[in-house]
Amino acid sequence: MTIAAAVAAVVGDGAVITDPDVADAYRHDQTPMLDAGRPAVVCFASSTQEVAAVMRIASETRTPVVTRGAGSGLAGGANAVDGCIVLVTTRMDRVLEVDPLNQLARVQPGVLNAAVKAAAAQHGLSYPPDPASYAFSTIGGNIATNAGGLCCVKYGVTGDYVLGLEAVLADGRVLRTGRSTVKGVAGYDLTSLLVGSEGTLAVITEATLRLRPAPGRTSTMVAVFPTLVAAGRAVVEISRAGVVPSLLELMDHTTIVAVDDWQHMDLDRDAAALLLAQSDSADGGGTAAIAAACSQAGADFAVETDDPDEGEMLLAARRFAYPALERLGATLLDDVCVPRSRIPELVEGVEDIARSHAVTVGTFGHAGDGNLHPTFVYERGSEAAEQVVLRAFDDVVRLALSLGGTVSGEHGIGLLKRGHLADELGPVSVDVHRAVKAAFDPLGILNPGKSIP
């Protein structure tokens, strides 16, 4: 029996794809330039039991398994390898329970982030993590990559909201980690170990998520800067002022113009940078204190509004940042993160790198976390331009490391950053990573070639 037939016997004929043309859509995520193999079969699991049965087949036949949700990843973490089983979780898409008193939700991995938010909102609660892909990315993928988003500066990342997991091990056994209580120290923190492990340790089949009371009234501020470095300094000043914004985003000149060319939003096309901030609390002075810090750092002017609709309009420019840059050509998006105080050096260094390679870069991102997305734009289809951009990309990653930062703030390692990971971790950590991987997956069948060096 072929792998495909064995898998079909588990999930049903209606839940497998073997036609290479149809399977093609499941071979890679949204990252450009990366290799993707040809799977033996793509299958859609409907239950933990089916995932377990697929993993038993994989273990017995030593077949690689690449798990994926919506495939919205930006590091190639879900790219297929030749002969693998692509295990798709999108049919396991139920919110199993919302418990308003204990402020938690139990969900399947294939549910969309937006659906979890909506289910929480029905009970006056919120599920904060908000990657840009929240409308179409799955919770399983969010957990596998420890996805970030705009809220992180105040509310943290996906991992901060995962209380417990159900996951299928490489040999098909079902592991439960964590708990339904807000505190607990029984045993090792296997939950956090699985969060961000990019499908290399186990297949997540259920998650218990922490919810929060819905945030209070939100005010919004936009500040316009004459230089990018001044905007970077403003981030430091806001931190120094002791304010905790609920959102603090940056857009550089290239990004501003790209958005305005597309959306005609009357943005200040002369601005070197914009900072957008929100505050959902009066603690620390809210947006007024943020605006004052921006002025002190050299902002030309700052506007504030308490009106939620006006606030959403101001934020819209930021939400269009990446698609606006994508309209200009092929793109390669970086995801470096540095200590907040090093942002001025990072943004200046990125501009220097772009200049020295003569490439276009648009920088935007989560300035409040030190997590920026310098995005290189180049001519579609040009191999030569691609090579130049790859070198500039490498330079940015090295710059971030030299500033005490990390090669990936929120997108993950996948295939894209695998070459850089060992530089960040060092040899002892690499050895420990391999030992942990072997403890979970001795045959090495779970997402081989991804994430770990």
Within 231-260, which residues bind a copy of itself (CB under 8 A)?
A: 236, 239-240, 242-244
Binding span for a copy of itself by CB under 8 A among 30-38, 114-122, 264-272, 274-282: 274-282
20 near a copy of itself (CB under 8 A): no
Region of 4-12, 212-220, 297-305, 379-387 interacting with a copy of itself (CB under 8 A): 212-220
CA angle, residues 372, 32, 342, in degrees to nearest 5: 15
Binding positions for a copy of itself, 407-426, rule CB under 8 A: 407-413, 417, 421, 424-426
Q: Which of 121, 193, 265, 292 binds a copy of itself (CB under 8 A)?
A: 193
Q: Report the nearest approach of a copy of itself to the CB of residue 152 (Å).
A: 6
Residue 22 near a copy of itself by CB under 8 A: no
* Rounded CA separation 110/205 (Å): 9
Q: Which residue intervals of 212-263 are DSSP H helices?
A: 228-240, 253-263
Interacting positions 359-398 with a copy of itself (CB under 8 A)? 366, 369-371
Are 286 and 243 within 8 A, CB to CB? yes
Comparison of 41 and 170: residue with beta carbon closer to a copy of itself: 170
**Can you tell me the distance from the alpha carbon of 414 to that of 377, in angstroms, rounded to the nearest whole number?**
21
433: contact with a copy of itself by CB under 8 A? yes
Shortest spacing between CB 350 and a copy of itself, in angstroms: 16
CA angle (414, 417, 418) in 5-degree steps: 75
Site for a copy of itself in 149-168 (CB under 8 A): 152-153, 157, 159-160
For 257, other C-beta atoms within 10 Å of its C-beta total: 18
Q: Which of residues 94-123 bind a copy of itself (CB under 8 A)?
A: 99-104
DSSP per-residue codes, 60-113: HHT--EEEESS---SSSTT---TTPEEEE-TT---EEEEETTTTEEEE-TTSBH
Identify whether the C-beta of residue 204 lies closer than 8 Å to the C-beta of residue 140: yes
Shortest separation between residue 378's beta carbon and a copy of itself, angstroms: 25
Q: Which stretch binds a copy of itself (CB under 8 A): 129-137, 310-318, 377-385, 427-435?
A: 427-435
Among 12, 20, 308, 339, binds a copy of itself (CB under 8 A): 339
Q: Is 214 in the site for a copy of itself (CB under 8 A)?
A: yes
- The residue among 20 and 339 lying less far from a copy of itself, judged by its C-beta, is 339
48 scored as a contact of a copy of itself (CB under 8 A): no
Give least dist CB 395 to a copy of itself, A: 18
Q: Are strands 85-88 and 41-44 parallel, antiparallel or unpaired?
A: parallel
| 307 touching a copy of itself, by CB under 8 A | no
The dihedral through the CA atoms of 73, 74, 78, 79 has a sign that is: positive
Q: Considering only residues 12, 184, 308, 419, which one is a binding residue for a copy of itself as defined by CB under 8 A?
A: 184
Distance of CA 63 to the CA centre of its chain: 28
- Residue 296 interacting with a copy of itself (CB under 8 A): no
**Does 440 engage in binding with a copy of itself (CB under 8 A)?**
yes
Complex with a copy of itself: residue 49 or 103, whichever CB lies closer: 103
Residues contacting 115, CB < 8 A, separation 6+? 93, 95
Query: What burial letters (b/e) apply to 306-320, b meaning 16+ CB within 10 Å?
Result: eeeeebeebbebbeb
Find where tokens 């690449």 sit: 66
CA angle 438, 439, 441 (to 5 degrees): 55
> Are the CB atoms for 78 and 67 separated by under 8 Å?
yes
- In the complex, what is the shortest distance from the CB of residue 25 to a copy of itself, in angstroms, rounded to a whole number? 26
Is the distance from CB of 83 to CB of 39 less than 8 angstroms? yes
Shortest distance (Å) from residue 423 CB to a copy of itself: 10
